[in-house]
Structure 1
Amino acid sequence: MANAVILFGLCLYLSWVDFRHRRIPNLALGVGFVLISIMKYVLSSQREWLMAGLFAILCLLVFGWISWHRPRALGMGDVKLLALVCYGLGVHDFVVVLTVASLAAMLVSLVLILIRKVSIKCEVPFAPFVTIGLAVILCMSDTS
């Protein structure tokens, strides 16, 4: 839960930057990584910390491969953000965040295309949608 709050605060800032400048700063991701690592060290067992790190590396490799082959579809800042979210939340919550973010991005893009505000080739910042996914995780953890 504490990791989700840290990630949500970080993603609010990253969403603003991504929306305005179409980039995600490495410094902010680095600070987030340090904060999440400290929380993981304090609150998790060594096995949980290791598994989170391995899944984050796997996430980095898979999405990095996608970004390498389709750089206009997914930027490297988004790849690093997704790996950080995977590291901070774990696989189960990461899948929920990724699903919600992808569905929200698809719906917004579809609406923008249908009202002819953008073309099909337009790039959409993804960090705001990751923030929406994190908000859903926070709401789900408060209700359960």
Structure 2
Amino acid sequence: MFHILKYFILSTFLIYLSYLDLRYRRIPNYAIATLLILGLLLLPFTPDCFSNLLGLLFPASILFFLNMHLNHFIGGGDIKLIMCIGLFTGVYSNFLIFILASLICLIVSLIMKLCYSSSRINLPFCPFLATAYILVVFYRIF
């Protein structure tokens, strides 16, 4: 029951942040701070605290260093959001969510590239993270 509440909280935040990212192309820091505080408050009640702490650090830190050296291919808000998702889900699920979100984003960008002949497509990444998170959660529950 506790996991369903945790999944519901993060899903609600991700849907809200997806709307903001689609509309304004930014993820506000107050929402990230709220998610981090909630994740840290719920951390003692999770069965695998160490995995959740690793989920907070590893995927986001790798993306941060790659982003610094590869011409800012992902936004800073997206990296912070991946940290929050990792705090809620753990390191393995966080890697799965990131890879699934990247694949969905790749498919959508290829379809958009075929439909519109612009040279560069700039997509917000938060809706793809939210979609991948919801798919992984439904797979876990059912």
Tell me the TM-score normalized by structure 1.
Answer: 0.86
CA shift for structure 1 position 8: 1.1
Q: Distance in 2 between matches of 1:51 and 1:135?
A: 20
1:34 maps to which of 29, 34, 37:
37
Q: Which runs of no fewer than 5 residues in structure 1 stay unpaired?
A: none
CA shift for structure 1 position 54: 3.4
Whether contact under 8 Å (2:54, 2:91) holds in the other structure is: no
CA shift for structure 1 position 15: 0.4
Q: Which has the higher contact order (CA 8 A, sep 6+)?
A: 1
Letter paired with 1:106:
L
Whether contact under 8 Å (2:32, 2:81) holds in the other structure is: yes
CA shift for structure 1 position 98: 1.3
CA shift for structure 1 position 32: 0.8
Whether contact under 8 Å (1:98, 1:130) holds in the other structure is: yes
Is residue 69 from structure 1 mapped to residue 72 from structure 2 by the alignment?
no
What is the aligned partner in structure 1 of residue 56 from structure 2? 56
What is the aligned partner in structure 2 of residue 11 from structure 1? 14
Identity %: 25
What is the aligned partner in structure 2 of residue 110 from structure 1? 110
Q: Distance in 2 between matches of 1:55 and 1:139?
A: 19
CA shift for structure 1 position 104: 0.7
- CA gap of 1:118–1:132, structure 2 versus 1, over 3 A, is farther
Whether contact under 8 Å (1:18, 1:125) holds in the other structure is: yes
CA shift for structure 1 position 3: 2.8
Whether contact under 8 Å (1:4, 1:134) holds in the other structure is: no
Q: Which runs of no fewer than 5 residues in structure 2 stay unpaired?
A: none
CA shift for structure 1 position 9: 0.9
CA shift for structure 1 position 102: 0.9
Whether contact under 8 Å (1:112, 1:118) holds in the other structure is: no
